[in-house]
Amino acid sequence: MSAAVTIAWRLLRGGGRRGLIGAGLTLAAVAVSTAFLMFTVAVNVAFEHRADREAWRNPVPADAARAVAVQGVRRDFFQGRMITVAEVAALRPGVAPPPGAARFPAPGEAWLSPALAALVRETPPDRLGGRFPNVAGTLAGETLVHPGELVAVLGRAPDDPALAPGRGGDGVAPTPVADFTGRHGADAVAYQSLALVAGVLMVVPLLVFSGAAARLTVARRDQRLAALRLVGATPGQVVGMTVVEAILLALAGAVAGVAGYLAMTPLLARITVAGGTWFVADLWPGVLITFGVLLAVPLLVGASAVLGLRRVVVSPLGVARRETPPGMRVLRVVAFLAVVGAFPVLGRGNAGVVVVAVALALPFLAVNLVGPWVVALIGRVMAGTARRPAWLLAGRRLVDDPRSAWRTVGGVALTGFVAGFVGLLSPSAGLLGDAPADRLRLGVPAAQAATVQAGAERRLRAAGVPARVTVTGTGDRRLVEVTPEPAATPGSTGGSPREGSPEVLERARTALDGLVPGRGASTPAEDDLPGMLLLGDIRTGTVVVLAVSLLVATTSAGITAASSVLDRRQTYALLRLAGTPLSVLDRARRSETLVPLVVMGGGSVATGMFCALPFVYAGLNVTGVLALGVCVVGGFAGVVGAGALSSPLLRSVTANPGPRPD
Amino acid sequence: MTEGVVLEGRGLVKRFGRTVALDGVDLAVRGGEAVAIMGPSGSGKSTLLHCLAGIMRPDAGEVTLLGRRVDGMRERERSALRRSRFGFVFQFGQLLPELPAEENVALPLMLGGVPRARAVQQARTWFGPLGLGGMEGQRPGELSGGQAQRVAIARALVTGPSVVFADEPTGALDQATGHDTMHTLVTAAAHNGASLVVVTHDPQVARWCHRVVEVRDGRLLPGHTPSPEFSGGGAR
Ligand SMILES: Nc1ncnc2c1ncn2[C@@H]1O[C@H](COP(=O)(O)OP(=O)(O)OP(=O)(O)O)[C@@H](O)[C@H]1O
Ligand SMILES: [Mg+2]
């Protein structure tokens, strides 16, 4: 083994400048894919962290004998931002406080999250502070979903009407609890599921990419290794050397990738999801997972290297003589059609998220399976119909090595699948309509409507807020609606806020606070806020997934383009010596990428859209189609750009008139 | 006086850093003439060939093809010249592995604008005479080393070049196959009226050439430049 290490190191060092370029490309590829892999895993862990911290707000009911406290949770709002209000009452002395509070809040006390405390300080009390007259302390971060979250924990007496059993309304009805552990809320689970789906969509291209990086090492070496085989090295030695080299490179790349990811976390933490940014610590997936990634990536790369080497090892002449590659089996197409055909069946119904995630990965792999086969087919058509040399070269090359061509365009094509999928899926903002934000509503039982209306009018008058109070609705629940009115006194001084403005709305809301126990007034727009947030987050997720896939795809296209130039430098150099214009070689390289890209990219987008069909509830939407368009254009530009980047490499590699075997 | 001279290099000097690869070489090649360049390793044979073929620009001296200056041309023109007037046979690795043999041969024609069908048809006519009958559709990986070099010879000659350059074309072959291949090269070039400049280590090869020049430390050895108009110019 140590001999293999030594020889591998020599090979790496002795490869010369071009060998080092190749090694550098592999290292960069592994680093990029490791960084994104860390990101993908960390995102899922981060949502888990959020869900854990938030769990206490979804109390598990305890029977009367074991209950030590009562807890209710409701929503309040301030200028369109949500405030989570938890009301707690201790049923006996010495109860452990809710998370984040230093002690159990006494009745009437308010413990505020740092962001809410700051907001209260900065805002005139009649708009916000009046709702929390007795602030006793600041909540620690361990109870917050995100750093800027607005949370208030209010202490109540056990017999406070706000905690009366069976009070209706939003949030969590007052619940007797034995402790403040709780369980993951429905929203948190929804986010975790979406993160899982996004993770699957990103992981598959990443794995394909890592595999490509490994093959790149092998491609760089296969000539030399075949020579070693011819000289008489045993298969074990050959495999050992290459695998050791690949693993060492991959390990270095993985470490660089983890470091790069960690360096990026402060930036990534600024991505807003569910109404807030992230604690940087949330994006640290933990020592165990990090080591797992550091272990898995080199192993994966090593395994890929072994697979890539099989041909050299099986026959020493395998690579040296470049035999006709085995034909791509029709089996691949059959498997592809079977998977895609089965997809709508799997996706229908209320299948679990994991099932959906797996079902999602399948057609993804199917596209990858059928890719090389279709590329070879495209090549045959191109070569058969070619009239110009560049087209002929491109076609023959596709037929000769469809897998390597697929490696160049596959990433982008798979992104096309993602784009097609989420392009159809991501819902548009207009789905929920545009609810008014200029009036407050309070839902009350019909019997109390008149009392609440009178109380509201009295409180608003006392607070000096001009507003019209009406009651709407039928049946046993009514809505008391409060519409702040335009200024009755036009001559009022410039210092006072204009009537009908958000400030007045907040003054009205603060005046109404506590009028109906356990329930705050909200505008119709605010009632839609959680849904809107989720929709916005799905869009954010779509953009992130597409951006990551696109970046990975483009990087991989660039790396494979460069490595294909390196692999064929001798032939290219000799062709150039014999007077073949570089423009012909460049055009051939471009066509061998672009033609399959157009066909496969288009096919993938279509496949993705087809697979998304069973999930589409709301029809097409502009954002999704736009994202799709951006993705298509970006992928195209990316691959063309990446190919163009290796043109100087082609120039320099072929400029040396004495082509050496290396 | 230069009647019959197709390609001519005069006072060629080429340096790589402190290495002087060519130190004032004069060489003239006549129409249909086969010239063998010999000499020890590192003496400058390949460099001389590259300068004559317009692959490299000499630091001093001039190269003319049928009276036209080659060394002053821009890369694009030299590239076109190599494509149309010169043919090349290298040691190995010059055939595109994914192209069938006949398309490898047809490629220079297609680059010159000949339609594909006619180019391939024309390429096929070379296979029989070179002993490659039936191998038109094989790919380079499926050919033996000698067969691949014959395909390369066909490719070098298919455009009807004025001069064929060959740098150790048999260096990767065993001796018998090498002689065989070299013989094919010399006779095919002669048959097509092309001059031949071939770098070789094999003294036997000289037998098939009209003339042998010997390079030592970047100079032609005296007495090996029989063209009267340049006599004495080889060792300035
Ligand atoms: N691209 C280059 N860069 C630097 N030095 C070079 C380059 N090409 C050739 N040389 C040097 O120029 C000298 C002549 O090289 P050349 O390749 O012409 O030798 P040669 O006679 O063809 O040798 P061989 O028989 O081994 O092929 C050598 O000393 C070589 O090291
Ligand atoms: Mg040489």
> Using one digit for the tens of pLDDT, what is the confidence trace for A512-529?
888 888 788 888 888 888
Q: Is residue A191 part of a domain?
A: no
pLDDT band at A616 (very low <50, low <70, confident <90, very high): low
B199 against A231, higher pLDDT: B199
**Rounded Cα gap, residues A189 and A143, in angstroms:** 17
- B103: which chain A residues are within 8 Å (Cβ-Cβ)? 392, 396
Phi, psi of A489 (to 5 degrees): -115, 95
Whether residue A358 is found in the same domain as residue A240: no
Tokens 């070496």 correspond to: A221
How confident is the model over A387-405, as a mean pLDDT?
Answer: 87
Nearest ligand for residue B38 CA: 1
**Edge-to-edge strand ranges of the sheet holding A477-484:** A440-445, A477-484, A467-472
Q: Token pair 């609890």 is at which residue?
A: A177
Q: How many Å apart are CA B29 and CA B189, to the nearest integer? A: 14
Angle between helix axes A569-577 and A582-612 (nearest 10 degrees) is 140
A:B CB pairs within 8 Å? 85
pLDDT band at A318 (very low <50, low <70, confident <90, very high): very low
For residue B49, the CA-to-ligand 2 centroid distance in Å is 9
Predicted pLDDT at B114: 93
> A260-269, A421-430, A464-473, B148-157: lowest mean pLDDT where?
A421-430
Average pLDDT over residues B91-98: 82
Which comes out higher in pLDDT, residue B109 or A658?
B109
**Which residue out of A323, A382, A392 would a mutagenesis test of the B interface target, given it has the greatest number of B Cβ atoms within 10 Å?**
A392
pLDDT of residue A324: 40
Q: What are phi and psi of B202, to 5 degrees?
A: -100, 110
Contact between chains at B111 and A574 (C-beta distance less than 8 A) = no
Instruction: Give the strand order in the sheet containing A135-138.
Output: A135-138, A110-112, A150-155, A81-90, A69-78, A172-177
| Per-residue pLDDT tens over the stretch A115-168 | 999 999 999 988 898 899 899 999 988 889 999 999 999 999 988 888 877 665
Higher pLDDT, A310 or A110: A110
Q: Give the total number of structural domains in chain A.
A: 4
Q: Note whether A445 and A401 are same-domain residues.
A: no
Instruction: Confirm whether A190 is domain-assigned.
Output: no
Q: How confident is the model at residue B230 (pLDDT cuts 50, 70, 90)?
A: very low
Q: Best of B56, B94, B98 to disrupt the A interface by mutation (most A CBs within 10 Å)? A: B98
A135-138 vs A110-112, strand pairing mode: parallel
Q: Which two three-digit tokens encode residue B133?
A: 């009958």
Instruction: Look at residue A25 and tell me whether its pLDDT is greater than 80.
Output: no
Average pLDDT score over residue span A560-564 = 75
Quote the DSSP letter at residue A516. Answer: B
Q: Which domains does chain B have, with CATH numbers?
A: 5-224 (3.40.50.300)
Tell me whether residue B57 is exposed, middle or buried, using C-beta atoms within 10 angstroms of its C-beta: 0 to 12, 13 to 18, 19 or more.
middle
Three-state DSSP state, B14: strand
> Rounded to 5 degrees, what are φ and ψ at B81?
-65, -45
Amino acid A317 reads L
Q: Are residues A134 and A233 in the same domain?
A: no
Tokens describing residue B223: 């007495």
Question: Which has the closest alpha carbon to B147: B181, B123, B98, B124?
Answer: B181
**DSSP string across A572-583:** HHHHHHTT--HH
User: pLDDT (tens digit, 9 = 90+) per residue, B170-224?
Assistant: 887 888 888 888 999 999 999 999 999 999 888 887 778 888 999 999 998 865 4
> A530 or A168: whose pLDDT is higher?
A530
Signed CA dihedral, B210, B214, B219, B223: sign only = negative
**Are B73 and B130 a contacting pair, CB within 8 Å?**
no
Coil vs helix vs strand at A519: strand
Residues A260 and A557: their CA atoms lie apart, in Å, by 21
Cβ separation B98–A399 shorter than 8 A:
yes
Chain A nearest C-alpha distance from B141 (Å): 5
Under an 8 A CB cutoff, do A571 and B139 touch? no
Q: Which residues of A touch B115 (CB under 8 A)?
A: 387
**Pairwise CA distance, residues A647 & A558, whole Å:** 11
Picking from B86, B61, B88, the residue whose alpha carbon sits closest to that of residue A659 is B88
C-beta of B185 in contact with ligand 1 (< 6 A): no
Using the beta-carbon criterion (under 8 Å), do A578 and B115 form an inter-chain contact?
Answer: no
**Ligand 1 atom 12: residue of nearest CA:** B21
pLDDT of residue A328: 46
| Chain B closest-CA separation from residue A553 CA (Å) | 26
pLDDT value at residue B118: 95
Residues A144 and A28 in one domain: no
In contact, A597 and A587? CB cutoff 8 Å: no
| A387: chain B residues, CB-CB within 8 Å | 115-116
Q: Dihedral through CA B146, CA B147, CA B149, CA B155, nearest 10?
A: 170
Q: What spacing in Å lies between the alpha carbon of B199 and ligand 2's midpoint?
A: 8
Q: A486 C-alpha to center of ligand 2: Å?
A: 94
Are B93 and A574 inside 8 Å of each other by CB? yes
Sheet holding B60-65, edge to edge: B19-30, B5-16, B60-65, B68-69
In angstroms, the CA B150 to CA B90 distance is: 11
Q: Do A575 and B55 touch (CB under 8 A)?
A: no
- Pair A501, A633 in one domain: no
Q: Are residues A252 and A383 in the same domain?
A: no
| Contact flag B141-A581 (C-beta cutoff 8 Å) | no
Residue A189 lies in a domain: no
Q: Which of A290, A305, A323 is the last residue of a domain?
A: A323
| Domain with A359 in it | 328-433+528-662
pLDDT of residue A368: 75
Q: Mean pLDDT throughout A343-356?
A: 52
Residue A326, chain B, CB below 8 Å: the answer is: no
Of B82, B93, B97, the CB nearest to A579: B82
**Cα of A450 vs its chain's centroid, Å:** 49
Helix (H) or strand (E) segment spanning residue A150 = strand A150-155
How much is the pLDDT for A615? Answer: 66
pLDDT of residue B86: 93
What is the pLDDT, as a whole number, of residue B110? 93
Distance of CA A95 to the CA centre of its chain: 40
Q: Choose the final residue of a domain: A182, A205, A227.
A: A182
pLDDT tens-digit profile of B114-123? 999 999 999 9
**B66 has a chain A CB within 8 A of its CB:** no
Q: A residues 383-422 near B, CB within 8 Å?
A: 386-389, 392-393, 396-397, 399-401
Q: Which of A12-16, A235-239, A323-327, A646-650 has the highest mean pLDDT?
A: A646-650
Q: Residue A80: pLDDT above 90?
A: no
Burial class (CB in 10 A: 0-12, 13-18, 19+), A625: middle
Q: Is A658 in the pocket of ligand 1 (CB under 6 A)?
A: yes
CA–centroid distance, B226 to ligand 1, in Å, is 26
* CA A487 – CA A465 distance, rounded (Å): 10
Cα distance from A432 to chain B (closest Cα, Å)? 57
Of B146 and A239, the structure prediction assigns the larger pLDDT to B146
pLDDT band at A351 (very low <50, low <70, confident <90, very high): very low
Domain for residue A626, yes or no?
A: yes
Residue B43 Cβ contacting ligand 1 at under 6 Å = yes
pLDDT more than 70, % of chain A: 76
Query: CB distance from B143 to chain A under 8 Å?
Result: no
Same domain, A291 and A350: no
Which residues of chain B make contact with A397, given a CB cutoff of 8 A?
A: 98
Q: A488, A522, A556 — which closes off a domain? A: A522
B42 lines ligand 1 (CB under 6 A): yes
Per-residue model confidence (pLDDT) at position B234: 32
* Alpha helix (H) residue ranges in A147-185: none
Highest mean pLDDT among A319-323, A469-473, A534-538, B126-130: B126-130
CATH number reported for the structural domain that contains residue A517 in this entry: 3.30.1370
Residue A110 and residue A162 in one domain:
yes
Mean pLDDT of B83-100: 87
> Residue A612: its pLDDT value, please?
74
Evaluate whether residue A269 is within a structural domain.
yes
pLDDT at A349 over 50: no
Tell me the pLDDT of chain A averaged across its residues: 79
SS3 B55: coil
A366 in a domain, yes or no? yes
Residue A315 has pLDDT above 60, yes or no: no
**B62 class by beta-carbon count within 10 Å (0-12 exposed, 13-18 middle, 19+ buried):** middle
Do residues A496 and A533 both lie within one domain?
no
Confirm whether the ipTM is greater than 0.90: no
Cβ contact, residue pair A657, B50, below 8 Å: yes
Same domain? For A309 and A381 the reply is no
**Residue A15 clears pLDDT 60, i.e. is over it:** no
Residue A163 lies in a domain: yes
- Provide the β-strand partners of residue B166: B89, B198
Q: Check pLDDT > 50 for residue B228.
A: no
Q: Are residues A276 and A372 in the same domain?
A: no
Closest CA to B183 of B164, B210, B151, B208: B208
In a domain? residue A203 = no
Distant-in-sequence, close-in-space partners of A266: CB < 8 Å, separation ≥ 6: A280
Rounded CA separation B102/A163 (Å): 90
Distance from CA of A409 to the nearest CA of B (A): 20
Cα–Cα dist A162/A193, whole Å = 34
Q: Is B40 in the pocket of ligand 1 (CB under 6 A)?
A: no
CA–centroid distance, residue B90 to ligand 1 (Å): 15
Distance CA B198, CA A541 (A): 65
| pLDDT computed for residue A659 by the predictor | 42
Q: Tens of pLDDT along A454-498?
A: 999 999 998 888 888 988 888 788 888 888 876 544 444 444 444
Residues of chain B neighbouring A577 (CB-CB closer than 8 A): 53, 55, 82, 88, 90
The maximal CA–CA distance of chain B, rounded, in angstroms, is 52
Res A312 pLDDT > 70: no
pLDDT tens digits, residue range A236-265?
A: 777 777 788 888 888 999 999 999 999 999
Confidence at residue B236, expressed as pLDDT on a 0 to 100 scale? 30
- A248 and A363 assigned to the same domain: no
CA-closest candidate to residue A587, choices B134, B110, B215, B23: B110
What is d(CA A231, CA B175) in angstroms, rounded to the nearest whole number? 21
